[in-house]
Amino acid sequence: MTEERKNKDDGQATGSPTSSKQSNDSSTREIVIPGEVIGEGDLLPGEGTEKRDGKIVAVRYGLKESDSKLIKVIPLSGVYQPRRGNIVIGKVEMLTFNGWVIDIGIGENAFLSVAEVPRYVNKNDLGEVMDLGDMAVAKIWGINARGIDLSLKSRGLGKIEEGMIVEINPSKVPRVIGKEGSMISMIKEETDCQITVGHNGFVWIKGDEIENELLAKKAIEFIARKSFVSGLTDEVKKFFEEEKK
Amino acid sequence: MITPEINKERVMKYLQEGKRFDGRKLEEFRELTIETGISKNAEGSAKVKLGNTEVYVGVKMAVGEPYPDSPDKGNLMVTAEFLPLSSDRFESGPPQFPSIELGRVTDRVLRESHFIEFEKLCIKKGEKVWTVFVDIYTINDDGNLLDAAGIGAVAALKSAKIPFYDGKEGKIDYEKESKEKLPLSKDIPLSLTAYKMGDKIIMDPTREEEDISDARVTLGIKSGVVSSMQKGLNDKINVEDLGKIFDLLEEKSKEIVLKIEKSLK
């Protein structure tokens, strides 16, 4: 079932390619499927893996990555896995007596309490702040048995007033952001737009001209489509040069 | 997730300038590709792609009893299934309203345009007639499934061949190769849909555009004659707009029919 695949680029969050000559070993990545045994012995199971009867088994479909101690799977597709501290973009699904229920694109809904909004909220009219169908940028501050709790208490969070929302696969988000945000700042610079990338795969673009917003959208979709290509930063640069002709 | 309300503002603003997000004109269709004969076991089959929207249609035939009100005519049954793999909005389980509507609309277009010559599908009057099953499966949903399904149904029927029927034994031999084509009228009927957004009328919307449309009208057109109609979504359509839609869709149907005929050769 396993398929060897040449993937010169360094997986998830990096924007720059690693030299394939120096690290020939790490440049060859194995594609694994859920249920496949990917390691045994003293290795620690990392993200996307599970320990079963002393064997480490992949639970996601993706690329296997391991060093001397840890073994993990970088997912190639799949739904968003919420984590504490993640920035997410969601849509108001329901108003309750003390907060908003927000759809962040996964099976369960997230809850934003009135207490987590850094401004005065009239409890009798929550719709004044955010109404049904409104979009918001929020932060996950807690995940517990009851569900996911969101907060707006941070810079750059709040209701989205205008712009457009683009949806990409959540596993492509690290590539869109790039190494230390290099990719996203390049798009911002080239298109003159404000861009917020939610970890759940929703991207909010806001610019002065719709043309600019569409260019940013096109660039993001381009990155999501070519996320496995090595030297993606150069490819995106080329993409912008061609688009601007 | 359903396209958010704020995207609507942007799409509408762009429409006012006569432009769409993917660079098409208001009435322009996405790239249409039709492939027939994709299924070995079906009597006729077609794969239709409209941009990223993809639909498979299969035609199957069986012998059955005619309905009492049409003892010398064959039967037609159209069903549509929205496979969960085609969109994250479709769930498996009993059919939901959109998939029932798609089947009904396509059924009506084929039936009311008299595309299939049902009289020729009679084997023995009052006892045995052919039943034509048209099954529509969505493979990928990026908007405008209605038109894609209509085109697919027509293409699949065009490529369909009647299987060999043994009158003595009363059995159908599906294995035996047959050359008898399904009796169809020369002209091709089409179901085409116009979507209304604000005061603009667009055709072949993407998923995003379809989500934020205010109203839609589907017309079944065969050589300039409108024989069926379906109105959808919540907003109203006034008389002037409807007149405009009739003209636009009639024009468009000629163009699409040419494309279908070309790809069937």
- Please tell me the distance from the alpha carbon of residue B41 to that of residue B46, in angstroms, as a whole number: 13
Task: Identify which of B163, B229, B157 has the alpha carbon closest to the alpha carbon of residue B194.
Answer: B229
Vertex B224: Cα angle to B218 and B226 (nearest 5): 40
Longest dimension (CA), chain B: 67
- What's residue B169's pLDDT? 80
Cβ contact, residue pair A133, B4, below 8 Å: yes
The minimal CB distance from A135 to the residues B6, B13, B21 is found for: B6
What CATH number does domain A3-75 carry, 3.20.20.70, 3.30.460.80, 2.60.40.1180, 2.40.50.100?
2.40.50.100
Vertex B242: Cα angle to B113 and B14 (nearest 5): 120
Cβ contact, residue pair B5, A134, below 8 Å: yes
Burial of A4 (0-12, 13-18, 19+ CB in 10 A): exposed
Q: What is the dihedral of CA B84, B82, B194, B49, to 10 degrees?
A: 80
Task: Identify which of A79, A126, A137 has the alpha carbon closest to the alpha carbon of residue A99.
Answer: A126
Residues of B in contact with A108 (CB under 8 A): none
- Please tell me the distance from the alpha carbon of residue B184 to that of residue B110, in angstroms, as a whole number: 10
Q: Are B22 and B117 in contact (CB under 8 A)?
A: no
Token output for B130: 């052919």
A103 interfaces chain B, CB cutoff of 8 Å: yes
Token output for A204: 């909010």
Q: Ramachandran region of residue B140, left (φ > 0), alpha (ψ -120 to 50) or beta? A: beta
Cβ contact, residue pair B1, A164, below 8 Å: no
Vertex B25: Cα angle to B251 and B144 (nearest 5): 70
- What's residue A174's pLDDT? 87
Residues of A in contact with B14 (CB under 8 A): 210
- Please tell me the distance from the alpha carbon of residue B73 to that of residue B70, in angstroms, as a whole number: 5
Q: Pairing relation of β-strands A37-40 and B225-232?
A: unpaired
Domains and CATH numbers, chain B: 7-264 (3.30.230.70)
The minimal CB distance from A164 to the residues B1, B2, B10 is found for: B10
Q: Which CATH architecture fits A164-243?
A: 2-Layer Sandwich (3.30)
Residue A184 CA, chain-centre distance (Å), reads 12
Cβ contact, residue pair B4, A163, below 8 Å: no
Percentage of residues in chain B having pLDDT higher than 90: 62
Cβ contact, residue pair A133, B10, below 8 Å: no
Q: What is the ipTM of this complex?
A: 0.77
Q: What is the DSSP string of chain A?
A: --EEEE--S-TTT--SPPPTTTTHHHHEEEEE-TT-EEEETTPEE-TTEEEETTEEEE-SSEEEEE-SSEEEEEESS------TT-EEEEEEEEEETTEEEEE-SSSS-EEEEGGGSSS---TT-GGGTS-TT-EEEEEEEEEETTEEEEE--STT-EE--SSEEEE--GGGHHHHH-GGGHHHHHHHHHHTEEEEE-TTSEEEEEESSHHHHHHHHHHHHHHHHTTTSSSHHHHHHHHHHHHT-
CATH topology (fold) of A87-159: OB fold (Dihydrolipoamide Acetyltransferase, E2P) (2.40.50)
- Please tell me the distance from the alpha carbon of residue A163 to that of residue B197, in angstroms, as a whole number: 19
The minimal CB distance from A162 to the residues B1, B6, B14 is found for: B6
Task: Identify which of B61, B63, B62, B60 has the alpha carbon closest to the alpha carbon of residue B128.
Answer: B63
Secondary structure (H, E, C), chain B? CCCCHHHHHHHHHHHHCCCCCCCCCCCCCCCEEEEECCCCCCCEEEEEEECCEEEEEEEEEEEECCCCCCCCCCEEEEEEEECHHHCCCCCCCCCCHHHHHHHHHHHHHHHHCCCECHHHHEEECCCEEEEEEEEEEEEECCCCHHHHHHHHHHHHHHCCECCEEECCCCEEECCCCCCCECCECCCCEEEEEEEEECCEEEECCCHHHHHCCCEEEEEEEECCEEEEEEEECCCCCCHHHHHHHHHHHHHHHHHHHHHHHHHHC
Cβ contact, residue pair A165, B4, below 8 Å: yes
Blockwise average pLDDT, block size 10, chain A, 245 residues: 40 39 52 88 84 88 84 84 90 91 87 89 85 92 89 90 89 88 90 91 90 90 84 86 83
Phi and psi, residue A91, nearest 5°? -115, 135
Task: Identify which of A103, A221, A71, A69 has the alpha carbon closest to the alpha carbon of residue B3.
Answer: A103
- Please tell me the distance from the alpha carbon of residue B252 to that of residue A121, in angstroms, as a whole number: 53
The minimal CB distance from A91 to the residues B4, B10, B21 is found for: B4
- Whether A164-243 and A3-75 are alike in CATH topology: the answer is no
CA-nearest residue to B89 within chain A is A105
- What's residue A197's pLDDT? 93
Cβ contact, residue pair B10, A135, below 8 Å: no
Please list the residues that pair with A202 across neighbouring strands.
Answer: A167
Q: Are A205 and A193 in contact (CB under 8 A)?
A: yes
- What's residue A10's pLDDT? 38
CA-nearest residue to B23 within chain A is A214
Give residue ranges of B with CB < 8 Å to any A CB.
1-7, 9-10, 13-14, 21
- What's residue A20's pLDDT? 37
Q: What is the identity of the amino acid at B89?
A: R
Sequence spans of domains, chain A: 3-75, 87-159, 164-243
Residues of A in contact with B3 (CB under 8 A): 165
A105 interfaces chain B, CB cutoff of 8 Å: yes
Residue A233 distance to chain B (closest CA, Å): 24
- Please identify among residues 117-146 of chain A the ones whose CB lies closer than 8 Å to any CB of chain B: 133-135
Residues of A in contact with B10 (CB under 8 A): 163-164, 210, 213
**pTM to 2 decimals?**
0.82
Total Cβ atoms within 10 A of residue A133: 12
pLDDT digits (tens, 9 = 90+) for B21-35: 888 888 899 999 999
The low-confidence residues of chain B, meaning pLDDT below 50, are none
